[in-house]
Copies of this chain bind each other. A is one copy, B any other.
Amino acid sequence: MHESSHILKGLKDQGHKFTKVRKLVLDLLIKSPKPLSSPDIQKAFLARKMPVNKTTIYRELAFLKGQGVIRELQFGDNTMRYEVTPDNHHHHIVCINCDKIEDVILEKDLDMEEKAIAQIKNFKILNHSLEFYGICERCQ
């Protein structure tokens, strides 16, 4: 049951190509327990004896992001990270000591807050980012 084939099929139907890089980038992101950076992905390719130019990785990530397949995150270290767009919206908690990252689901979501802010500030809110920073069990 490889989830990536289904996604790639959809992209192909829209005139995009089914390439090795595209499939592996997607597979890596699907399998990864935490968001990956472009350098992370390039290293993963290298580890599989499949060197890929960094430009290709950046372009592929931009493409998948543009297609809504993945989303971009930042955890305070000036490098973008990516994860497959989740079905159920969630956030992250990051250990500032060992960089452990876990998914977090809020008890109460931020929809009401967004509505209130949109009204008060006259913004049309498209999305938000929320990350918690702390010390994980092992590190404290």
* Chain A interface residues toward B at CB < 8 A: 72, 74, 76, 78-80, 93, 95-96, 102, 104, 106-108, 112-114, 116-118, 121-137, 140
Q: Which residue of B116, B123, B128, B133 contacts A127 across the interface (Cβ within 8 Å)? A: B133
Count of chain copies: 2
**Chain B minimum-CB-distance residue to A131:** B129
Least CB distance, A138 to chain B, in whole angstroms:
9
Q: A76 — which chain B residues lie within 8 A by C-beta?
A: 72, 74, 129
Q: How far is the CA of A136 from the CA of B131 in the complex (A)?
A: 23
Q: A74-B74, A76-B72, A78-B79 are in contact. Are A125 and B114 (CB under 8 A)?
A: no
- Decide: B133 and A130 in contact? CB cutoff 8 A: no
**Chain B minimum-CB-distance residue to A80:** B78
Least CB distance, A109 to chain B, in whole angstroms:
10
- Decide: B129 and A124 in contact? CB cutoff 8 A: no
Q: A78-B79, A116-B107 are in contact. Are A133 and B124 (CB under 8 A)?
A: no
- Decide: B126 and A134 in contact? CB cutoff 8 A: yes
**Chain B minimum-CB-distance residue to A117:** B104
Q: How far is the CA of A21 from the CA of B125 in the complex (A)?
A: 38
Q: How far is the CA of A118 from the CA of B132 in the complex (A)?
A: 10
Q: How far is the CA of A113 from the CA of B130 in the complex (A)?
A: 12
Q: A134 — which chain B residues lie within 8 A by C-beta?
A: 118, 123-127
